Structure 1
Amino acid sequence: MATRRRNVLVIVAVAELLTMSLWFSATAVAPELAASWDLTSTETTWSTNAVQSGFVAGGLLSSFFTLSGVIRPRYLFAGSAVAGAVCTALIAGVVTSALPAIGLRLCTGVALAGVYPPGMTILAGWFEEGRGFAIGLLIGALTVGSALPHLFRGVGDPELVLYGAAIIATLGGLLALFVEPGPHQAPAAPFDPGALGRILRARPTMLANGGYFGHMWELYAVWTWIPTFLAASLAASGSAGAGAGLGSLLAFDTIAIGGTGAVLAGSAATAGVEPA
């Protein structure tokens, strides 16, 4: 059983890492896309914000229709990963203007809402002991995966970033198909509109939700902003001649280092609630 759990953890973490490359795939090449399509600054901003908006919408829709109960998590993960990959490939190969790009990025965010939560569900079903470490590793994989487009941009052209993210996300979705439900898999609860009122009246839950909301608002703002900041810093220091590659590699390092913190925090959480 221990070997099976370890294999599941590795497969799901790798699948998550590969698939989450879709999140910032267009953001990593936003300057090139804006120049190629003659986008305004507002249109460029919305091409990034659309992913976050789509993720929220996808999460709400998934909860309302209890998709995790209707569709097995591994199938939901795989289908969502491929859908997001198709949207990204279309941006690279077909789109030439702002509106379809924003629409496809919105759909990518909706698709990713079918990747991250099911990944957590799968691991929670396999890990009762050691769940903190397992979830920490998954979040670490998500972090490094989110940074991957900047690594691609540092070593290749914009098309490589978009097509590369689409290809590896598809591989990530296929990997998820190899994971069976675990022995601790909890059944999905039906959607209950009355739960909203109970949540709003539960102070501990609202404090946790507020902290998570503030944390994610700050985190994704920094992840989105840091490549622009680094490019401006290099230009101001006279290092702009190093090209976009150096800034992209530094952006990858800045974001991906958070994966280490996630794994360490998950390990600490497990150590804090389980006997040594």
Structure 2
Amino acid sequence: MVGSRGFPLVRSSLALTFVLTMAEVLNLIGSASFPALLPEFRSLWSLTNSEAGWISGIYHVGYISAVPLLVSLTDRLDARRIYLFASAVGALSHFGFGFLAEGFWSALGLRALGGIGLAGTYMVGLRLLSDRVTGPKASRSISIYTAHFAIGTALSVLLAGEAARFGGWPSAFYLAGAACLSACLMVGLLIRPIKREKLAAIVPLTKLLDPRPLVGNRPAFGYILGYGGHVWELFGVRSWLVAFLVAAVAFQDLAGEGWSATRLATLLFMLGLPASFLGNELALRFGRRRVIIGAMGAAAALSLLVGYLVGSSPMLLLPILGLYVFLLNVDSGALTAGVVECADPGRKGATMAFHSLMGFAAGSVSPLVFGLMLDWGALWDEPTWAWGLAFSSLALGPLLGILALVLTAHSLRLAPR
């Protein structure tokens, strides 16, 4: 079958997963552009660590302000329509940042708009995929899709650094805007629409955002709370890893030896792809709850250590940091696949919206808390102590996530795993 403009509409589960995953990566190209260039912006705009944390975190605030409505609307509308609109919003925000951002307040508003764009593409894209790929193949398709969030973030860091190096920092945001437009075209031309009456169920508009049925679904709610703890730690690291590596390179005086913080961060973020996919496979074999709790506990333990290694030899720091980033991503696909499986078919969009809202709400706060801890630790004029405190604050998320999963353990045992 071909579309109205002669482009073939993909139908196989493999092709659908590929197209939507590539579109996801393109929409994420601007997600880490500001954190990747954070050291430059701190100097250029004389930002405090707290202000830098606000700009990093506001992206997620924009996300959580829009995700309840945009993802819940997929219970009434084809997710494809929402996806196309949000991709265009993302492009507008990135182009606007490159042309207009000139300080704290303008950056704050434009990054918030970028978060709104992501709200209508990431989890909406997952709904778009799950509406079209069902049955035994669904779990792996979801795992592949969520795992590529790490690839999109990694490429965002790499491309922002390289674009800024060759064309100045605005080039990084122009590139991100072009990527969003490419994703919009890809989905619009290759993914077939679904008629409204063919959706699993039509939730009344007045009940679209009612959270009570979601909280009552204890198996899904346990995964949702766990996801919040996961994203607290993950987004804190994603927002501050480049700045941490800049500090580590400065400690060892390695800048003149070709060490690049953005390239190192890209390699570390790339570990998220095999980690998320492996985590989902382990979860299918050994049980989701067991694998998620183990990964969260190990990551929390490393978060209490890694910041204090900022002045250590790269031979010690980089392997530990690599293991830490790997563990951060092990539970990602398993948590999201668990929510999708446990969701009421008639409220899948609302459940996914609440899942994403919980995660990104935590992710919007943790970069700010990290920056505040960094500023507080710096009062003692001891960078190692400051970075140690900042990373230690990230352990709160996975520890609370473990608690939530333990408290809902009985319900999880009765639910699909």
Q: The TM-score by the shorter chain falls in which range?
A: 0.7 to 0.9
Corresponding residue to 1:169 among 180, 183, 198: 180
Corresponding residue to 1:259 among 273, 279, 284: 273
For residues 74 and 201 of structure 1, what CA distance do their matches in structure 2 show? 29
For residues 96 and 206 of structure 1, what CA distance do their matches in structure 2 show? 41
What is the CA-CA distance between 1:204 and the residue it aligns to?
3.0
Query: CA 1:74–1:267 in structure 2 vs 1: closer, same or farther (change >3 Å)?
Result: farther
For residues 153 and 214 of structure 2, what CA distance do their matches in structure 1 show? 30
Corresponding residue to 2:14 among 6, 27, 33: 6
Supply the AA of the counterpart residue of 1:14: M
Corresponding residue to 1:58 among 47, 63, 66: 66
Secondary structure of residue in 2 paired with 1:26: helix
Tell me whether 1:48 sits opposite 2:52 in the alignment: no
What is the CA-CA distance between 1:181 and the residue it aligns to?
4.3
Query: CA 1:73–1:4 in structure 2 vs 1: closer, same or farther (change >3 Å)?
Result: same
User: What residue in structure 2 maps to residue 91 of structure 1?
Assistant: 97
Structure 1, unaligned runs of 5 or more:
none
Tell me whether 1:238 sits opposite 2:253 in the alignment: yes
Secondary structure of residue in 1 paired with 2:185: helix
Alpha carbons 1:47, 1:102 under 8 Å: kept: yes
For residues 198 and 256 of structure 1, what CA distance do their matches in structure 2 show? 37
Aligned ranges 1:106-255 → 2 under 5 Å: 106-128=112-134, 129-157=136-164, 158-177=169-188, 178-181=190-193, 186-191=200-205, 192=207, 195-242=210-257, 246-255=260-269
Query: CA 1:119–1:198 in structure 2 vs 1: closer, same or farther (change >3 Å)?
Result: closer
Supply the AA of the counterpart residue of 2:51: E
Secondary structure of residue in 1 paired with 2:33: coil
> Which is worse superposed, 146-155 or 201-210?
201-210
Aligned sequence identity (%) = 24
What is the CA-CA distance between 1:131 and the residue it aligns to?
0.7
> Which is worse superposed, 176-185 or 205-214?
176-185
User: Greater relative contact order: 1 or 2 (C-alpha under 8 angstroms, separation 6 or more)?
Assistant: 1
For residues 270 and 181 of structure 1, what CA distance do their matches in structure 2 show? 31
For residues 51 and 188 of structure 1, what CA distance do their matches in structure 2 show? 31
Alpha carbons 1:80, 1:115 under 8 Å: kept: yes
What is the CA-CA distance between 1:144 and the residue it aligns to?
0.6
TM-score calculated relative to the size of structure 1: 0.87
Alpha carbons 1:132, 1:270 under 8 Å: kept: no
Secondary structure of residue in 2 paired with 1:96: coil
Alpha-carbon displacement from aligned partner over 1:49-90 (angstroms, at most 9, x marks no partner): 101111111112325xx4324543122112211211211111
Q: CA RMSD in A?
A: 2.8
For residues 16 and 252 of structure 2, what CA distance do their matches in structure 1 show? 46
Alpha-carbon displacement from aligned partner over 1:198-239 (angstroms, at most 9, x marks no partner): 444554333222211101111111111211111111111110
Corresponding residue to 1:73 among 74, 79, 88: 79
Aligned residues: 270
Secondary structure of residue in 2 paired with 1:186: coil
